[in-house]
Structure 1
Amino acid sequence: MNRCMRHAAVFCALLLTAVLVNTARVQVLQAGEFTGNPANRRIAITRYQQPRGNIMVGDRRVTGSRFTGGQLRYERTYPEGPLYAPVTGFASQTYGATLLEGTEDGVLSGTSGTLASAPLWQELTRARQRGGDVHTTIEPSAQQAAFAGLAGRRGAVAALDPATGRILALVSSPSYDPSLLSGTGTAVGAAWNRLTQDPAQPMLDRAIRQTYPPGSTFKVVTAAAALQLGLVKDVMAPTDSPDPYRLQGTLVDLTNESDGCRDASVYDAFRISCNTVFAKLGTDLGPHGVVDQAQRFGFNDTRLRIPAGVAKSTVDTAMGPDQVGLSSIGQFDTTATPLQMAMVAAAVGNGGRLMRPYLVDRVTNHSGMTVSTTRPSLLHQAVSGDTARQLQMLMEAVVTDGTGGNAAIPGVVVGGKTGTAQHGLANVGTPYAWFISYAKPATADHATVAVAVVVEDAEAQRADISGGGNAAPIAKAVMQAVLRSPAPTGEFSPPSGN
């Protein structure tokens, strides 16, 4: 080989080495950068070349996939879109994914390694795994009852199985059809603009992402604190509670909607919802008494996931005596999601044990094999068993002989609490109507279902708003739907004891 040929061979070898090094750099070191580049169309093409897995309610698919014939071959469909939108969220080729479509995207798109029946073979062949299915805890009849009860009015419903934390219904109203956002093009953009600019906020998941002043439903928390700390030893004994009650350190007099609140017992004050009695109880307990108890029910928790994130329900940790008094009746800065107030009712109905709420029961791969299952877990021991029994007596009196009679179900033990929450500057806004409740068969030890309902009902006359009138019938319908439904397979039985 002459000198020129040797130089040419070395030069070619160097060029080949440079090409190999650059290929390795692109494929290994810069892979993430190219993958995340919006201009990389291959990612979207690959993502939508096969149908997504489905979100299941019972044995029914509440999602589907439609063949488009375009470069992005499949787009999402929602056969009962508005009914289940607060559960599914949307999966859009333009705007991404939300709620279960977002948190479970790895399963539904087939990118999760947990789906592979033969992981090693999958790794060697690089074959794309078909999407798996996400089986929810939703009870279809309860979801339908909640949706029908709200009937398009602004509000939300959350229902739980107190013994396990399974979410049985999650409804937000008004709702929307996620199918409108599934694809690409001008129609999808127009739908997005219309939905995001709608003052009714149909895309807001009010059940878990909107907080409201809980009003008198928060009296369950205040009563729990007073019983737990021994401030109230006999719920039937008269209290030293003036009517009106002057908030400590102010010239503001708190009054009641009901008669008979002066020195009323906790039993009667709870039954007819006396603000003065509970504001004084809260003031006597002090901020730590109220806040600590609220936190054991789940307030001020920033980490709650179901698996989508839940907005924090708040009780101010730095309050003066007058502010504690207002917070004790669900006013001042106290706010709660409907899910949070369902958790309060669930803990009372479950003997004081607050189970962690969850929405995904199990995940199956494309072959139908279960690859993961959610196990119930204790979130907090909210109150002792003895305190829970006294709270049950109070809540059941609300339904049998108080403001919550519209929630009564023949042959069933129902406990409840009404609430009419003031809001707006100087409380001039139309009040929110609340009702929280639990229900159990007469022979059962623990509640079968717990429900929270809030109705904003901005079109109603202010004088006609009440939790017992507007929200309690919805809660009743949801509880009846759950009680009529068969128990899920392998239902969890909570341990006995306090």
Structure 2
Amino acid sequence: MNRCVRHAAAFCALLLLAVLANAVRVQLVQAGRLAANPADRRADIALYRQPRGNILVAGRPVTSSRATGGQLRYVRSYRDGPLYAPVTGFASQIYGASLLEGTEGALLDGSDPALDEQPLWPEITRARQRGGDVHTTIDPAAQQAAFTGLAGRRGAVAALDPATGRILALVSSPSYDPGRLAGAGPSVTATWKQLNADPAQPMLDRAIRQTYPPGSTFKVVTAAAALESGEVTDLRARTASPDPYTLPGTTVRLTNEGAGCRNASMFDAFRYSCNTVFAKLGADLGDQAVVAQAERFGFDDTRLRIPPAVAVSTVDRWMSPDQVALSSIGQFDTTATPLQMAMVAAAVGNGGRLMAPYLVDEVTSHGGTTVSRTRPRLLHQAVSARTAALLQELMEAVVTRGTGGNAAIPGVVVGGKTGTAQHGPANKGTPYAWFVSYAKPPGADRASVAVAVVVEDAAAVRADISGGGNAAPIARAVMRAVLAAPPPAP
């Protein structure tokens, strides 16, 4: 072989090596950066080239996929979009996905390996499995009752099955239609800007992503701490509670909305919601006892997923005595999501056992095979069975002989607690109306539904706003809907 041929062969070999090196650089070293480049639409094209799996409520899909005829072949659509938006979230070709559409996205779009019935076949063919279906725990009648009850007012409702932790209703108001965000045209961009600019924040899931001062509904927690610690042993024994009560270390005088709170027993103080009694009780217990009890009900839990993440409900860990007093009546820095307060009511109604809340019953493949199923799980033993029975006595008296009469259901044992939470500069904002409750079917010793309702913009004169007047009727409607429904299949 002459010198020119050798040089040409060596040069060709170098060129081949350069091509191989560049292929390695592009396909391995730079693969992540190139795939993340917004100009690369291959991932989007692959994501929307087949129908997405569905989200189901009581076995019926509340989502579907609509053919577009474009490069992104399928777009998401929703049945009763505003009703179920706090559950489904949205799946947008521009703005991504939220809530179940986001957390269960890999199952819905078919990219989750758990869906592979023949594990090696997708690797060989590069074909994506059809998306799976997500079966929720939502009771459609309860969801509709909560949505109708809020009637567009700012607020939220969360309802649970105390025995399992299944979430039966999750409503946030005002709501929005996630179908308006599903496509990729100018109307989607305009809708996104409009929704984000709306001061009512319709895309905020108030049931799990917004925290509020819980007001007097937090007295359930304070009463639990007092009973568990032995600070209170007799519900009907009079307490040494002045009215008004001067907060420790301050000159601030705490008063009550009504009369009869001076030295009232816990039984009377709870059903009439006496701030002075529970503020003094909290100060006597101290911050550690109140915080520890709150945490056993689920407060300060940063890991709670249903599977969408839930905002952390908080009780300040380090408080002065006056701050503990205010926290014990659900003010100061104490905040809670509606789901958290439903968990409190559920634990009381379930004999002290707090079950982990969950929103997904099971996931099935496109062919109907079960991929995963959620099993009920004990989150905490919030209180002893004895304390739970005493708390039930208190909460049931609120409905039969106290401020929560609007939640009563004939023939059903209902326990509840009203709350009116102050907020805003100098507490001048319109108070939040709260109600937490549980209901026992006739003859049952455990509750079958627990509900928390918060109404932000209660339509009433400020002095007349109350959990009993504004929120309790909504809770009653949700409990009725659950009690009227047939039990879920095992």
TM-score over 0.5 for the pair: yes
Give the whole-Å Cα distance in 2 for the aligned partners of 1:350 and 1:139. 19
Provide the residue aligned with 1:370 in structure 2.
Answer: 370
Cα offset, 1:223, TM superposition = 0.1
Residue aligning to 2:407: 407
- Counterpart of 1:137 in structure 2 is 137
- With over 3 angstroms needed to count, the CA separation of the structure-2 counterparts of 1:409 and 1:458, relative to structure 1, is closer
Say whether the 8 Å CA contact 2:458–2:470 is kept in structure 1: no
Displacement of 1:365 in angstroms is: 1.0
Q: Find out whether 1:354 has 2:342 as its counterpart.
A: no
Structure 1 counterpart of 2:200: 200
1:496 alignment partner in structure 2: none
SS at match of 1:207: helix
Q: Residues 91-110 of structure 1: matches in 2 within 5 Å? A: 91-110=91-110
The answer for the alignment partner of 1:239 in structure 2 is 239
Letter in 2 for 1:396: E
Query: Could you tell me how far 1:390 is from its partner in structure 2?
Result: 0.4
Task: Describe the shift of the 1:406–1:455 C-alpha distance in structure 2 as closer, same or farther (beyond 3 A).
Answer: same
Report the AA paired with residue 215 of structure 2.
G
Partners of 2:459 and 2:392 lie apart in 1 by: 34
In structure 1, the residue matched to 2:151 is: 151
Q: For residues 460-498 of structure 1, what are the alpha-carbon distances to aligned partners after superposition, in whole Å with 9 as ceiling and x for unaligned?
A: 3212211011100100110111111121122xxxxxxxx
Deviation at 1:287, TM superposition (A): 0.7
| Correspondence for 2:249 | 249
**Counterpart residue type for residue 216 of structure 1:** S
1:40 is aligned with what amino acid?
D
**Residue type at the aligned position of 1:381:** Q
Query: Does the 8 Å CA contact 2:350/2:447 hold for their aligned counterparts?
Result: yes
1:127 and 1:304 map into 2 onto residues whose CA distance is 35
Q: Deviation at 1:100?
A: 0.6
Give 1:139's aligned amino acid: D
Measured after TM superposition, the shift of residue 3 of structure 1 is 3.1
SS across alignment from 1:371: strand
Percent of paired sites with the same residue: 76
Residue 480 of structure 2 corresponds to: 480
Q: How does 1:20-419 map to 2 (within 5 A)?
A: 20-419=20-419
Q: Distance in 2 between matches of 1:54 and 1:19?
A: 44
- Deviation of residue 69 (structure 1)? 1.1
Instruction: Return 5+ residue gaps in structure 2 as ranges.
Output: none
Distance 1:302 1:411 in 2: 39
Q: Secondary structure at the match of 1:433?
A: strand
Give, in whole Å, the separation in 1 of the partners of 2:310 and 2:325: 27
**Matched residues in 2 for 1:301 and 1:127: separation?**
40
Equivalent positions of 1:424-443 (< 5 A) are: 424-443=424-443
Cα distance between partner residues in 2 of 1:28 and 1:423? 55
- Deviation by residue 1:262-293 (Cα, 9 ceiling, x = unmatched): 11110111011111110110010011111111
Question: 2: distance between equivalents of 1:352 and 1:67?
Answer: 50
Instruction: Give the superposition deviation at 1:20.
Output: 2.2
Secondary structure class of the residue paired with 1:329: coil
Alpha-carbon distance in 2 for matches of 1:480, 1:191? 36
TM-score w.r.t. length of structure 2: 0.98
SS at match of 2:415: strand
- Unpaired runs of 5+ residues, structure 1, are 491-498
- 1:343-381 CA-to-partner distances (Å, cap 9, x unmatched) read 000000111111111111111111111101111111111
Please report the TM-score for the alignment, with normalisation by the length of structure 1: 0.97
Which digits, 9 at most, give the CA deviation of each residue in 1:38-95, with x for residues without a partner?
1111111111111111111111111111111111111111121100000011111111
* TM-superposed deviation, 1:459: 4.3
Specify the SS of the correspondent of 2:168.
Answer: strand
Give the aligned partner of residue 422 of structure 2.
422
Aligned residue for 1:72, secondary structure, equals coil
Q: Secondary structure at the match of 2:453?
A: strand
SS of 1:119's partner is coil
State the one-letter code of the partner of 2:375: R
Shift of residue 258, structure 1, vs aligned partner: 1.9
Length, aligned pairs only: 490
- Alpha-carbon distance, 1:10 to partner: 2.8
Name the SS for the 2:189 alignment partner: helix
